């Protein structure tokens, strides 16, 4: 048994069709979680099996794939997933955001604005935004059906009462198209505004939890907040040590044993290009 | 100065090579043949085909070899392979009364038609290390049963059923759902629950079953029958319209009967917990039967008070491919989210410090 005996993009055609049906339904009902019979993939559950399945379902031979984890193209899991598709689908891969037609991501949205025709595929560990408040998914399904989001507003209110502010820094819940509360996946709250009326298609897959949901282009995606406590994204108040960017999302690194901190862009493609153009000058 | 925290293709490639080398072990020793694993580590193969829901002993043995004997990893490998296989038809239900028996025991009756057949089991071995195996000692030939076991042996529960003492299983004739093709949803029909338990982690299913014996959702079980052997699998090809045998599979079946005091709609009677799994896996089948009975609480009007009776809890956490993956995904980088948490906690601490300072100044 060799690699050649697998079909294009690994999954059998029936399965890919089934996932595409779920994706179409998800796009038709923005932010609504569609159950699907998630398959086991040759990658551990929780490591992006949903992303693999969604990407496999939408991938064509002409596509150009970019895979990032924590914003970086060279993190181990991003490398592993990129290699997987190069191997089972033979598609062209890239690290350049604007060249990619499909971007599979874990925990970040690229800094460069996305354009029409691009598809973002998010790896989602926990599709249910209410799970910390109500563990039963049978019950949360009911709450979504009734648009009964009181528990979430109470949680945010309690945050303010206790800490003076909403203490959610990532996986910050959003209201999609004025109807469904949705988890944007564990992207930093900093990235939430990039989803609002984005020109790209955003597909979210949760393989272990067997859910697919989506945000079609030009859809309202509004972080939950209160009038007197507006949404506030978090970001280190610093500049990238390589490219000097202050407007991008930064990762903190420790450079010695005395707790000295430096900052680097989390989006490696964004950083490298700024870095190179600065050096050229 | 800047220490790279990021991987890179070369490091990953090297890691894979080290893994392959570690798996090979001492190269002075011959490699284990996949056929040897299939033949001599048969119970490991049984666990893997069960948890993978794929009856292919050779590929399971290959997975065990590839996973260095890590059976959860092996089941995962086989499941991932299963995802690539198209489904071309469903078999007819297997008939376990027509099982070619290797073993059949009953704990509720001293004797019964067909008798007790001990077969191959560790139950009556003394758990003493057999040092002869160190020297590859060959065992003596096994004795042959005489006369041969009947071709068809009714289940030990048949008499209870005939007397009306054992609850009839309701059958609404709806086709059973397929857990591997449709997502699990709640409330889950029993057919779906049994599928999830049959492929669930053996340790988890065993522990949940065990919890019923220690007061968390007591089901008063008796092992009415455990049978192990091979059954014929038949399919009806569309173009033929009649059943065709496609092979034999080994399965273990367990029927527990459980006391039931009756409800508003049902008289006192015994109820059944059922376990059916690939291969020879009695521990798994028995655990499954205990959990199956506990999960009937809702249908039988019993109070749902213990974890094992909560189907969403049990079925959502029974699968080790999911559990293992998600627990271990914590090894993946999380520095983007951690960064946001860092900023947040520093802000909260600064605010708390300012508040304390203001209070102290006011007090002074």
Same domain, B165 and B234: yes
Residue at which a domain ends, from B25, B52, B82: B82
Closest partner residue to A252 (CB to CB) among B87, B322, B339 is B339
Residue A36 and residue B183: Cβ atoms within 8 Å?
yes
Same domain, B101 and B164: yes
In this structure, what are the phi and psi dihedrals at residue A269, rounded to the nearest 5 degrees?
-65, -45
Same domain, B171 and B286: yes
Q: Is B250 a member of any domain?
A: yes
The reply to whether A281 touches chain B by the CB within 8 Å rule is: no
Which residues of chain B are within 8 Å of residue A70 when distances are taken between CB atoms? Answer: 333-336
Q: What is the mean pLDDT of chain B?
A: 91
Going by pLDDT thresholds of 50, 70 and 90, the confidence category of residue A5 is low
Q: What is the mean pLDDT of chain A?
A: 92
Among residues A179, A188, A189, A219, which one has the least CA distance to residue A203? A219
CA separation, residue B203 to residues B200, B313, B325, B362 (Å): 9, 16, 16, 60
Going by pLDDT thresholds of 50, 70 and 90, the confidence category of residue B159 is confident
Which residues of chain B are within 8 Å of residue A140 when distances are taken between CB atoms? Answer: none
User: Distance from B160 to chain A by nearest Cα, in Å?
Assistant: 37
Q: Is B134 a member of any domain?
A: no
Give the HSE-up count for residue A235: Cα atoms under 13 Å, Cβ half-sphere.
19
Residue A37 and residue B348: Cβ atoms within 8 Å?
no
Residue at which a domain ends, from B82, B114, B138: B82
Residue A265 bears catalytic tag:
yes
Residue A178 bears catalytic tag:
no
CA B141 to chain centre: 32
How many Cβ atoms from other residues are within 10 Å of residue B188's Cβ? 20
Show the domain range for B62. 10-82
Q: Is B1 a member of any domain?
A: no
Residue A205 bears catalytic tag:
no
CA A170 to chain centre: 11
- The residue of A44, A93, A167, A183 whose CB has the most chain B CBs within 10 angstroms, and thus the best one to mutate to test that interface, is A44
> Is residue A1 predicted with pLDDT exceeding 60?
no
pTM beyond cutoff 0.95: no
Same domain, B284 and B301: yes
Among residues A151, A154, A190, which one has the least CA distance to residue A171? A190
For residues B225 and B220, give the distance between their C-alpha atoms in angstroms, rounded to a whole number.
Answer: 15
User: Distance from B8 to chain A by nearest Cα, in Å?
Assistant: 5
- The region of weakest confidence among A83-87, A274-278, B19-23, B292-296 is A274-278
Going by pLDDT thresholds of 50, 70 and 90, the confidence category of residue B2 is very low
Closest partner residue to A47 (CB to CB) among B77, B180, B332 is B332
- Is ipTM over 0.95? no
Going by pLDDT thresholds of 50, 70 and 90, the confidence category of residue B337 is confident
Q: Is B306 a member of any domain?
A: yes
What tokens appear for B278 in the block?
């690939």
Same domain, B26 and B51: yes
User: Distance from B267 to chain A by nearest Cα, in Å?
Assistant: 31
Q: Is B144 a member of any domain?
A: no
Same domain, B289 and B327: no
Residue at which a domain ends, from B82, B113, B134: B82
Domains of chain A: 3-223 (3.40.50.11310), 235-281 (no CATH)
For residues B182 and A177, give the distance between their C-alpha atoms in angstroms, rounded to a whole number.
Answer: 28
Residue B82 and residue A40: Cβ atoms within 8 Å?
yes
The reply to whether A235 touches chain B by the CB within 8 Å rule is: yes
Going by pLDDT thresholds of 50, 70 and 90, the confidence category of residue B4 is very low
Question: Which entry of A31, A48, A71, A205 is annotated as an active-site residue?
Answer: A31
Helix (H) / strand (E) containing B104: strand B100-105
Residue B185 and residue A190: Cβ atoms within 8 Å?
no
Which residues of chain A are within 8 Å of residue B76 when distances are taken between CB atoms? Answer: 40, 44
Q: Is B141 a member of any domain?
A: no
Chain A residue with the nearest C-alpha to that of B12: A76
Only one residue has tokens 């367990």, namely B254
Same domain, B295 and B343: no
User: Distance from A13 to chain B by nearest Cα, in Å?
Assistant: 8
Percent of chain B with pLDDT strictly greater than 90: 64
Same domain, B57 and B199: no
The reply to whether A75 touches chain B by the CB within 8 Å rule is: yes
Which residues of chain A are within 8 Å of residue B183 when distances are taken between CB atoms? Answer: 35-38, 210-211
The length of chain B in residues reads 364
Which residues of chain B are within 8 Å of residue A166 when distances are taken between CB atoms? Answer: none
For residues A265 and A244, give the distance between their C-alpha atoms in angstroms, rounded to a whole number.
Answer: 9
Which residues of chain B are within 8 Å of residue A38 when distances are taken between CB atoms? Answer: 183
Q: Is B131 a member of any domain?
A: no
> Is residue A4 predicted with pLDDT exceeding 70?
no
Same domain, B22 and B166: no
Q: What is the pLDDT of residues B84-96, one digit of tens each?
A: 888 888 899 999 9
The reply to whether A182 touches chain B by the CB within 8 Å rule is: no
Residue A137 and residue B312: Cβ atoms within 8 Å?
yes
Q: Is B88 a member of any domain?
A: no
Residue A44 and residue B76: Cβ atoms within 8 Å?
yes
Same domain, B113 and B158: yes
Q: Is B159 exposed, middle or buried (0-12, 13-18, 19+ CB in 10 A)?
A: middle
What tokens appear for B267 in the block?
């008289």
Residue A244 bears catalytic tag:
no
What tokens appear for B157 in the block?
């529960």
Same domain, B259 and B344: no
Give the per-residue pLDDT at B7.
53
Give me the total of CB pairs closer than 8 Å, taking one residue from chain A and one from chain B. 168
> Is residue A187 predicted with pLDDT exceeding 80?
yes
Same domain, B103 and B250: yes
> Is residue B193 predicted with pLDDT exceeding 80?
yes
Number of domains in chain B: 3
């Amino acid at each position: 048994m060799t690699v050649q005996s697998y079909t294009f993009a690994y999954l059998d055609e029936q399965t890919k069709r089934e996932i595409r049906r779920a994706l179409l339904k998800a796009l038709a009902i923005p932010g609504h979680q569609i159950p699907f019979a998630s398959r086991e993939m040759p990658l551990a559950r929780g490591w992006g099996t949903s992303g693999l399945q969604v990407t496999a379902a939408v991938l064509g031979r002409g596509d150009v794939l970019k895979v990032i984890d924590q914003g970086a193209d060279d993190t181990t899991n991003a490398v592993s997933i990129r290699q997987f598709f190069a191997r089972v689908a033979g598609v062209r891969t890239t690290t350049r955001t604007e060249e990619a037609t499909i971007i599979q991501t874990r925990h970040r949205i690229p800094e460069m604005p996305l354009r029409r025709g691009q598809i973002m595929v998010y790896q989602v560990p926990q599709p249910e935004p209410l799970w910390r408040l109500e563990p039963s998914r049978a019950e949360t399904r009911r709450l979504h059906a009734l648009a009964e989001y009181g528990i979430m507003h109470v949680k945010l209110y309690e945050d303010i009462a206790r800490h003076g502010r909403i203490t959610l820094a990532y996986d910050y819940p959003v209201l999609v198209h004025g109807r469904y509360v949705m988890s944007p996946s564990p992207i930093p709250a900093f990235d939430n505004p990039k989803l609002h009326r984005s020109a790209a298609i955003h597909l979210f897959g949760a393989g272990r939890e067997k859910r697919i949901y989506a945000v079609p282009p030009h859809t309202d995606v509004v972080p939950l907040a209160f009038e007197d406590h507006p949404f506030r994204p978090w970001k280190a108040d610093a500049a990238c040590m390589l490219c000097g960017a202050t407007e991008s999302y930064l990762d903190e690194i420790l450079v010695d044993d005395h707790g000295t901190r430096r900052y680097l862009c989390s989006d490696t493609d964004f950083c490298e290009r700024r870095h190179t153009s600065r050096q050229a000058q | 100065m800047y220490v790279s925290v990021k991987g890179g293709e070369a490091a990953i490639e090297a890691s894979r090579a080290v893994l392959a080398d570690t798996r090979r072990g001492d190269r002075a020793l011959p490699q284990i043949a996949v056929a040897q694993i299939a033949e001599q580590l048969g119970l490991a193969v049984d666990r893997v085909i069960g948890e993978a829901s794929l009856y292919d002993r050779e590929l399971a043995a290959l997975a065990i070899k590839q996973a260095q004997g890590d059976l959860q990893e092996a089941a995962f490998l086989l499941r991932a392979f299963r995802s690539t296989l198209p489904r071309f038809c469903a078999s007819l239900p297997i008939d376990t009364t027509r099982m070619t028996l290797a073993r059949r025991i009953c704990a509720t009756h001293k004797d019964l038609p067909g008798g007790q057949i001990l077969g191959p089991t560790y139950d009556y071995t003394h758990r003493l290390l057999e040092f002869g195996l160190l020297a590859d000692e060959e065992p003596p030939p096994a004795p042959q049963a005489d006369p041969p076991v009947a071709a068809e042996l009714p289940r030990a529960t048949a008499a209870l059923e005939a007397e009306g003492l054992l609850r009839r299983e309701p059958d609404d004739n709806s086709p059973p759902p397929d857990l591997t093709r449709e997502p699990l949803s709640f409330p889950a029909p029993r057919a779906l629950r049994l599928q999830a338990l049959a492929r669930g982690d053996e340790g988890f299913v065993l522990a949940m079953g065990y919890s019923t014996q220690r007061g968390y959702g007591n089901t008063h079980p008796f092992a009415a029958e455990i049978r192990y052997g091979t059954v014929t699998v038949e399919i009806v090809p569309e173009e033929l319209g009649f059943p065709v045998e496609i092979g034999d599979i080994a399965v273990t079946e367990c029927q527990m009967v459980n006391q039931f005091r009756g409800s508003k709609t049902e008289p006192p009677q015994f109820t059944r917990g059922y376990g059916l799994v690939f291969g020879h896996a009695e521990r798994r089948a028995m655990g499954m039967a205990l959990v199956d009975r506990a999960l009937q609480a809702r249908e039988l009007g019993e109070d749902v008070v213990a974890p094992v009776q909560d189907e969403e809890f049990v079925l959502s956490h029974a699968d080790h491919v999911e559990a293992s993956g998600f627990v271990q995904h914590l090894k993946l980088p999380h520095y983007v989210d951690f960064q946001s948490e860092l900023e947040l906690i520093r802000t909260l601490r600064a605010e708390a410090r300012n508040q304390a300072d203001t209070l102290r100044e006011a007090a002074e």
